[in-house]
Every structure is written in C-alpha cells, then in structure tokens.
Amino acid sequence: MNNLTSRTCCRIALLCVAFAASGEQLDLLTSYDVQLIVEAVPEVVAAQANGKCPGFSITRWGDDKLWVQARGRCFDGSSQSTLINNYVVDRRNGVVFLGEGETPLRSESLHRRQSEVIAAARRRVLSNEEARCLAKKAMESLARVRETGDSFELQMTVSANEEKAVFSGVHRLPSVRVTTSTTVTVDKRTGEVVENATGASFLSDEFSLLAARVLAQRVPVILTTDDAVEIARVHPAFAGYRSLKCTEIAASTLEVLAERRFVGLVGHCAGDPAHPDISVSVDLRTGRVLDERNQRELTSPESAAVASRLLAVLHSRRRNIQKLIESACAAEHK
Amino acid sequence: MTTAFNKVQADAQGPPLIYNPPPAPAPPQPPTWFFSWMPQRPNGLSSIREIVTNYPECNKADSRAIDKKLDFIVKYYSDAQWVATNVRNELTQRGVSFSNTQGLATMFLQWGAWESGWMESGSRSAVQNNFFGAQRGAPGSVPCPSSVGRTTNSCFPLAMGFAQQLSAVLSMVPRTRANPNTSNLSYLAQLENMLASDTGASATTLLQGIASFGWNSVDPQYGTTVTAGIRLSTELNCMKNNGYISK
C-alpha cells in the first residue's frame, strides 16, 4: 500500500470512527437531502425561474431540524434585502415549515421531492448482508488468536428488523481443538457494531476501514467545491483574470445549492477595485458550467475536459470502493 | 434636526462611523436553586448528552433551539431596546406619545433573527456580520473578504453590532422599482410615520410597511411571515422575569 492510499485509508477510518461515535443515523436527512427538498419549495423554484439565483445557508435548529435560509444571489434592485425565506426542515420526515411556523408547507412537487429524498435516505440503512459482513469483520478483529484453517461461522440469531441485526458467531481453531463464541449487534441505521457481552463498539483498524467504505458508498457521487473551481477556472469566462489587479476566483460553501457551487471573481484588496462581474454555477453531478441567472449551459470544451477527468476519477474511486467491499464480504458467503 | 440615525447616515457617506454603543446587557444572574435544578431530557433521544442550556428556568426541556433563541435575546435585546427608545424619543419630539418601546424592541429582534437566521455561528450572515440582510453599499459596510465568495450582501466590521446596523439600515433611503421614493424618506421616517398615524400598530403591520417600502418589496406576506416565523414572546417574558435581561 503506498503512502497516499494509506493516508486515505486512515482518513476514511477516522471518519468512520467519528461517524460511529456520533451515532448519526444513516436514514436521518443530511444537509444535502434537506437542500434538495427546499429547492422544490414553490417560491424557491419561482426565484430560480425569475433569475434571483437562490442560495442556501444552513444551520442546526435543535437536535433534529435544520434552519435553511434562502437568499437571492443576484441583486435585481427590486428589494434591498434579497431574502427569499427561512425554512425549518425536520430531518426525520422532510417536513418543511416557514421558520418557527406550525403549518407545514405543501405542494405536489414538494411532496414528490420529499418522498424521493426520504426513500433515498431509507436506502442508506445497511442491508442484512452488509450487516453480516460488518459483524464478521468485527468478530475477526476481536479474535486475538488466528491460525491457518480457523473459521468463523455466523448466524443471525433473530430475524433482523429495520434497525438492528443480532449475530451469533463461532470461531473454531481445529488444530488446537478450541471453539469460542460471541454475539454482536449491528445497528443498521448507524453502522455501529457492538459486542453484546461488553456493550462496547468495535473500532479496530480493519473493521473501521470496511465500515468506512460501506458508509462511503452512501455519500452522493458529486464533485467537490474545489472540483467546481477547477472546472470553472479554465472556462473562457474567466480568461485573463490573473492579469487583473486585486482579482481572484472564489467559491464558498457559505451559500450553496445541493448540487451547485457558485464560482465568481472577487476583489481582494482594500477598496474593492472594480472587476468584471462574473459568476457561474457548476453542476456537481455533471460538471456543466451554467449561467447563474438563467441556468443555461455555458459550453466550453476546456471545462468539459476537466469535468470529464474529475468525474472519471470520482466514479472510478466509487467503483474501487465497491469492489473492495465485495471482496471483503464475498469471503463471508463462501 | 440631527438625530442618531441621520448621524449614522452622514458618517457612512464621509468620515468614519462614530457610534455610541448601547449599555451592555446585564450579566445573567442565576437563582440560588440553580444547582439543584435538573432539566428533562427531550423524548426520543437514544444517547445521553451534556446539558446545553445556560438559562434553565426558561429552557426546561434543554432544547438547543430554545437556547439559541435565548442566547439571541441576551445578546441583542438591549441593543433593540436602545434603538426603540430612540424612535420613541424622536416621536416625542414630533409630539407623538408612544410608549410601547418593548413591543418595538421585540419587533426589531424578530426582524434581525429572521434576516440573519439567528446570526448562527458559521452561517453566511455571521461570517458577513450582517444582521438585516443589507446589500452591498450599506452604510458602515466594508468590502467582504474573498473567503466568503462572490456575494451581493454587505459585510460589516465586527465592531458594528446589532444596534449600529439597525440604525444604519433604518437610515437608508430606498429606491426600488416599486418605490421610487421621490420624497427621499428613510426607513426610519417611514416607520415613525406609521407609528405617528397609529401608535398601536402591530409588529406585523410595521414590518410589512418596512418591507413594502423597499426592504422586501416583492413579498406581500413579509410582516406575517416574520412574526409567525420568529416567536419570542414566551422566551422574552421568561428572561425578563428571571433577570437575564432588563424589564
């Protein structure tokens, strides 16, 4: 394993540990999910259609809700504040309220989007096969004594429900005629595996790496903000920006849409000297560069080439992770 | 007549802004039985967590959302009250008897909470230190750092707090498509005119008046949405009764 891969693995393992420790449920709606829902709120749809360029700023609201502020990014002189509205979204069911209002927002398209997002969130819960695979890896990592020819046998002790699966495992060491058994519970909604006898979570390197990979497959396959800048930077719209004094390309996650990042030119010297008012949005799923106001594609072979390369890396990484998971879990089925 | 608001406006156009900060809020005084108090954990939580509230009497369920509201009240109520008192004084000079400064202060708090999304740490508003959603060029604003990305919002220096920004925003003279405002009235003048014609005007009416005057000319429900979307009365009363803020 080279250094880079090793570092990446460590990072993934650490992420997993943090994830498991936080106990965050896989089927609880994420900021990304919540943005997808708010994007379907009729007045946000209208703001997009009217060229107001909505962007979201998201903060927590209590333990299981998010506060989403939608503000227009394109100032059109019709108002001095560009606020579209504030929405509180329940992460357990996707219901949207106006701030602390008590009446849920309803519309056909919003309902459709809520259903889609919730269905996708439910699919993040571990399958019984994934739970079994994690349980086996956990038991293997618990066994201090290993030898050639030893075996682990797992049985699901009770029928799994949508939250938990309990496995009884037997470890046989035939050469010394030793058999040990243990029982573990997999929380399918968090990926946490607990040894029933101690109540302790498994956190070995090997187990955590597999768990991290399983969880990583649940993350949407989209480009990052840095990727978006890479794609926009070579677009002819930004040609020559380096020769402009006090001007740089900037993108921030302070204001986003679920699958869009806004990339623009900003001044960075005192006095904010005039610079071309250029801003585009980059579609994180396709890498297309769009006009922020009207969402029309700003075609550029240079940007398309960078997008294609970055997306290829992204998809290849995802396929590799899938193969690693399949390889780790395939032994289980033998 | 030179008023605090005119001064903010004049200073913003030329010399540096000079600002007399409102009195700092009184530090919270927990009652003597504070340490014997134990909050109820919210239902449905599977894991334990530390108690988060700093205001146990007003947040018995130990809700993070309620605590965010209580923090906002403690930080900015006296600022809102200071501006409300200035409005009252100016109305008095016009011969209008207006006494509901607490109601007006509450409205200012609701407005700031709505436009800033509770000024939550890490949010766009907090990074830009922008309480009211003012756009580029607002009095007292400074160029935004490039780290916030391209934005049309104003960024304000950290030294410019709630009261100062509220004063600056009220001093602005709107010019929108819906309101060309040929008489050059500021938001403050519009607010005072509304109060002069009806000293009992509701927060909903006043906020709608400010919105329609230019702050949000496109939303005919702005006043209703803000007052329904930011609920403070229960928390404000509790905080006053327990000495966290002045009555």
Give the pLDDT confidence of A82-123 residue by residue, as tens digits: 999 999 999 999 999 999 999 999 999 999 999 999 999 999
Residues 232-271 in A contacting B (C-alpha not used; CB under 8 Å): 248, 250-252, 254-255, 262-268, 270-271
* Coil, strand or helix at B86: helix
Place of tokens 């019984």: A128
pLDDT band of residue A2 (cuts 50, 70, 90) is: very low
pLDDT recorded at residue A274: 63
Q: Which of A202, A205, A181, A198 is nearest to A190 (CA)?
A: A202
Across A67-79, average pLDDT: 87
User: What are A260's two structure tokens?
Assistant: 């869009």
**A interface test, pick of B124, B130, B176 with most A CB neighbours within 10 Å:** B124
pLDDT recorded at residue A272: 54
Across A159-169, average pLDDT: 82
Do the Cβ atoms of B42 and B62 come closer than 8 Å?
Answer: yes
pLDDT recorded at residue B47: 60
pLDDT recorded at residue A171: 87
pLDDT string in tens for chain B (247-residue length): 444 444 444 433 333 333 344 454 544 443 333 333 333 333 344 566 788 899 999 999 999 999 999 999 999 999 999 999 999 999 999 999 999 999 999 999 999 999 999 999 999 999 999 999 999 889 999 988 888 888 889 999 999 999 999 999 999 999 888 888 999 999 999 999 999 999 999 999 999 999 999 999 888 999 999 999 999 999 999 999 999 998 8
- A180 to chain B, any CB pair closer than 8 A? The answer is no
pLDDT recorded at residue B43: 38
Question: If you average pLDDT over every residue of chain A, what do you get?
Answer: 87
pLDDT recorded at residue A180: 85
pLDDT recorded at residue B17: 38
pLDDT recorded at residue A23: 59
Do the Cβ atoms of B210 and B190 come closer than 8 Å?
Answer: yes
Put simply, the answer to whether A59 touches B216 (Cβ < 8 Å) is no
For chains A and B, what is the number of CB pairs under 8 angstroms?
135
This prediction has a pTM of 0.85
pLDDT recorded at residue B112: 98
For A168, list phi and psi in degrees, rounded to 5: -105, 125
pLDDT band of residue A269 (cuts 50, 70, 90) is: confident
Query: Following DSSP, what letter does each residue of A63-100 receive, concatenated?
Result: TTEEEEEEEESS--SS-SB-EEEEEEEETTT--EEETT
**A interface test, pick of B151, B175, B190, B231 with most A CB neighbours within 10 Å:** B151
Q: Which residues contact A282 (CB under 8 A, 6 or more apart)?
A: A223, A227, A228, A231, A232, A260, A261, A263, A288, A289, A290
Give the pLDDT confidence of A6-31 residue by residue, as tens digits: 444 444 444 444 444 445 789 999 99
The better pLDDT of the pair A119, A269 is held by: A119
pLDDT recorded at residue A165: 92
Of B46, B133, B143, the CB nearest to A82: B133
Place of tokens 């938990």: A164
pLDDT recorded at residue A229: 96
Residues of B in contact with A62 (CB under 8 A): 63-66
pLDDT recorded at residue B42: 38
Do the Cβ atoms of A275 and A266 come closer than 8 Å?
Answer: yes
The ipTM assigned to this model is 0.86
Burial of A290 (0-12, 13-18, 19+ CB in 10 A): middle
How many angstroms separate the CA of residue A293 from the nearest CA in chain B? 14
Of A77, A262, A271, the CB nearest to B149: A262
Residues of B in contact with A254 (CB under 8 A): 123-124, 127, 148-149
Give the pLDDT confidence of A279-333 residue by residue, as tens digits: 899 999 999 999 998 999 999 999 999 999 999 999 999 999 999 999 988 854 4
